[in-house]
Structure 1
């Protein structure tokens, strides 16, 4: 594998596609996921675009996020763009490659890295590669892309017939998304070119879509392919951050961490059944600290350089607002927990406002609410059948010190005071009350302690030996710290650095 990868990179260097060096990437922190079409329209067609994101960089910087993850931006026949037509281009509805270059440059000026959604499991059935491969099968010949897809001479599960001949192709997500043959060395060489191309245009990381479908049920093969992708990206840019979507159980996720990937999203802790939402609703968070500490230790045991990627909801899930019963205190409690966890947390756009959305995927990707004036918003996806329940958008919440938006801003700013939270080792503490989530995080010889109170009614005091002599870095919700004792009103927290 390493010899194969070295050969690919040498070829790219000779072709002039591999830059000699990359600028150092901004430090990792909180990621902000954006569905471009629903974020900000800049040209009046009702569709969000890259220039719209540039126009909203002041807002993103005010949140304190360190990465923006763009859902797929490539040409595609679908609204979601997970069925790609051209991996080297930007969908015209989103803008141009020049727009993308301006976006990455503007982000780097602000200390924000751009993470691109990379779909390597499948392409569009209208992609020229697939059309050529089908023609080759029809005419019983071998062409450049013939082995880039998975073909069978008989019917079977998730197999779709090529019209006019007795060949079927695999498409786990439907006939419109034919699966790639990831064992093809020439296809892997093409993927290496794609990765290098986007890195040369300022991309600082990749979100890898649907990794458990790479080799369904064959985790060792999936981990091997992930290793190839990671080694390719990091050979170009050692600071490149890669995070994978593995919507599966803990045991499988840990197996995939054997690839050395930076992060895999923590799906078991997310959604309405995950520990962050359940703890927020119950007002009991002591077990969250122990569970997360255990999870982080298990990741570290498999891949010492990898870190967790906690989140509550994303573009495939019902919005966090619904999970948290449309009550701002519940939403604040969940954020208080997951945004201060070690690793690289992700906020789904509009979560910081309390946007709604459930049912069909289109409903989960409704337009960003910039204000109560609907004229400031993009058009909703055509198949959406729910209206947005949130009325107060950024404009209204911006001036309200108690708004959910300003809570997110304060939390992320608090987190940014403790760089140990990105790659540090977590140890749970006993805070003496079920409502207290307490733990330390140590990195490079420096240790911080995080003490949070998710109760919505009780003021609690936490005094621990480990806190004696600690320095207060910051707090939220009126929390105070003196002489080794934290005084925590309902929904509050502190970060201190230990001596």
Structure 2
């Protein structure tokens, strides 16, 4: 009976559009496209989650599992087109909350918007049949060729310095193509991808040339100024039809724009060019220089509170009366033993209701004590999440940018850490946020824990504070928590007005600014938190200050998406490479090698080579689940570790700076925050570090250090890519290295062409040599691992 009722409900749900055909209305949101944007797609506007309007409602077929939080919005988060969740759990314009639904499998979502603007979202069985795109049958259109990575169609390849002239060619294999126009636009992008637009620059009529049965077209353009440009081709057929030859439909991890570049796709010219998928062309400053040492880095990435307790006298303790013993207006929480799980409120672990106020006692002395260990892992750079005074365990809520947190030690301890690290060939790169401070800080002083003078002393606006200009206040609001802007709505993190001259002086302009002070104390560079929330002109000035103080200092941004605009020579040298992270983790977990290659090739093409070789190539971070969790440590821990070995193998043989998140090398797992920030499992603290896994990490870092071609070699186009096996080529002078990986549980044999005529490839990990014959190689790649083959005449 229940099955019959469900079937009847599904049928009725499907009939809604037809049954109400007589009352069809124009789309209440006009031409706007609405997307489901939430936890299941990293809050991006993806075509797969775009609603289609039909008759009197917006429909979306969605496949998802488990509880999800989301909003309904257009691509630009336009306020009038953004629907959050209201008190009744229904979508409403301007509602601050998220919509929450639980899914299991395939569903159809139906959104109706009444005349008064109220909205209702219904979730039912999958019944909606989307309107299929009108197929293209014109052979002349279907045979058009372009690839941004093939010299025949575009040269030179990839990002180029300003002043470079680039040639473009297209062709087809059937008659019918009348004319072609190269359309070049300049990308305008600010913030965390919220505002993305292309501004017209030029349209170039392409010159025809004969090409067999079809016709080819060519054009050239000199890119005079730095920037990120978009380009595509408008085609006209003899029958008057028009098409857009554009970027492909590949999804790029975290990135709003679709298209991994390479081979083009063709579609009918849309009514709005906003729908065009542009190819991207990065044009950078000719004098853009990244520190030479960046490409030789292996990072060891530490969350200091959880790495090693070297000085128990400074540990935070409830009721202790010292600054580190209080969290805002109450005591901290202290873990009884080092190897406990981090506390998470609401899980029944006995902790209080606050996040980020539990402490284990890790400190700078612990780092100093373990520098020899860090060096033994193969690291030569130490990246630290913030160590400056702050009440939380993560320290992104700065209370004093110019002082080490007392739970971590002293300013002298930082100087000593840098000096001791330098003796071992290790550089230290600290982290901070110049976007927000802590509510519990002398700058803001919401809780009154500091002497009067904060901009919000005891929850009241203080216009006489020396920090008053750092913040924007809304005095008409009655609720104190709404009288200022917390970053992304978090009241504990008052957002700084980055245009404030007083703040800019404090941050980087003054001789003793935050930026200069820590460089003077031994830092080798900076990693900057939430870079997209800080204006570009701020970063341009900041970079100048950094390079004036220490020309070979490394600047690293925290960005998660395509970061081309930060690599024009005026902002950053590098970024935390989340595209790499997701691409490699998914591949090592068993997903398609083609998807990984497409995402990585995008960066090879879009980023200047000096930045590409310095990218901070991550696997685990303090903001995302650890790699072992991604690989299913709870289901099959042994296989998860082998998949981690595969990911590390790829990481250590790829251009950029491999980054080891503390504890990964000994099998430390953990899901979302706070469990990805668990203490390092030291044996003398009762932990059980995996020594065999550690030995494999050391073997792979040693391989990277011993083979300069893996650090300095230019990456070529992939030699072979399929679902399981990816083969890449590196060239450094006359030395070549071929790296092959296999994400299958069985060995795979592949045959492919190589840029070498004949000769022998030596297996750098001790396997059998491989013979090159007439530019061809046959290679067997072991399961869930890889091979490195070197040719050095």
Using the size of structure 1 for normalisation, the TM-score is 0.77
Cα contact 2:294–2:657 (8 A) shared by 1: no
Q: 1:294 aligns with which of 602, 606, 609?
A: 602
- Give the unaligned 5+ runs of structure 1: 1-22, 215-221, 378-391
Larger proportion of strand? 2
By how many angstroms is 1:453 displaced? 2.6
**SS of 1:233 mapped into structure 2:** helix
Structure-1 residue corresponding to 2:364:
50
Cα deviations across residues 294-350 of structure 1 (Å, max 9, x unaligned)?
31220128x868743321220011111111122221111122222322112222111
In structure 1, distance between residues paired with 2:621 and 2:611: 27
2:523 counterpart of 1:203: yes
Instruction: Name the CA distance, whole Å, in 1 between partners of 2:461 and 2:614.
Output: 49
After TM superposition, list the pairs within 5 Å mapping 1:139-218 onto structure 2.
141-155=463-477, 161-162=479-480, 167-172=483-488, 174-192=490-508, 193-214=513-534
Q: Is 2:415–2:521's contact at 8 Å kept on the other side of the alignment? A: yes
1:370 aligns to 2:682 (yes or no): yes
Q: How does 1:409-488 map to 2 (within 5 A)?
A: 409-422=698-711, 425-431=714-720, 434-442=723-731, 445=733, 448-454=736-742, 455-458=744-747, 460=749, 464-467=753-756, 475-476=764-765, 478-484=766-772, 488=781
Residue by residue over 1:45-80, the C-alpha shift from the partner in whole angstroms, topping out at 9 and shown as x without a partner, is 551111111111121111111211111111111111
- Aligned residues between the structures: 431
TM-score with structure 2 setting the length = 0.50
CA spacing shift, 1:137–1:186, aligned 2, 3 Å: farther
Question: Given the alignment, which residue of 569, 584, 590 partners 1:282?
Answer: 590
Q: Is the 8 A contact 1:470 1:496 kept in 2?
A: no
Superposition deviation, residue 439 in structure 1? 2.1
- Please tell me the root mean square deviation across aligned C-alpha atoms, in Å: 3.2
- Structure ID, larger Rg: 2
Deviation at 1:187, TM superposition (A): 1.2
C-alpha contact 2:763 2:769 (8 A) present in aligned 1: no
Determine the structure 2 residue equivalent to 1:404. Answer: 693
- Residue 296 to residue 364, structure 1, CA distance change in 2 (3 Å): same
- The change in CA–CA distance for 1:310 and 1:412 in structure 2 (over 3 A counts) is same
The 8 Å contact of residues 75 and 86 in structure 1, kept in 2 or not, is answered as: yes
Q: Secondary structure at the match of 1:130?
A: coil
Match of 1:389 in 2: none
Q: Secondary structure at the match of 1:102?
A: helix
Tell me if structure 2 keeps the 8 A contact 1:223–1:257.
no
Q: Residue 352 of structure 1 is aligned with which of 635, 655, 665?
A: 665
Structure 2: distance between partners of 1:171 and 1:482:
55
- Residue 379 of structure 2 is aligned with which of 62, 65, 78? 65
State how far apart, in whole Å, the 2-side matches of 1:497 and 1:225 are.
46
Gap runs ≥5 in structure 2: 1-290, 316-359, 446-453, 634-639
**Contact (CA 8 Å) 1:261, 1:306: kept in 2 or not?**
no
Higher helix share: 1
The offset of 1:119, in angstroms, is: 1.4
Aligned to 2:628: 321
CA distance in 2, matches of 1:137, 1:363: 33
What's the counterpart of residue 128 of structure 1?
Answer: 442
Equivalent residue of 2:624, what SS?
A: coil
Give the 3 Å change call, closer, same or farther, for CA 468–110 of structure 1 in structure 2.
Answer: farther
Could you tell me whether the CA contact under 8 Å between 2:295 and 2:655 is conserved in 1? no
- For residues 340 and 227 of structure 1, the distance between their equivalents in structure 2, rounded to whole angstroms, comes to 32
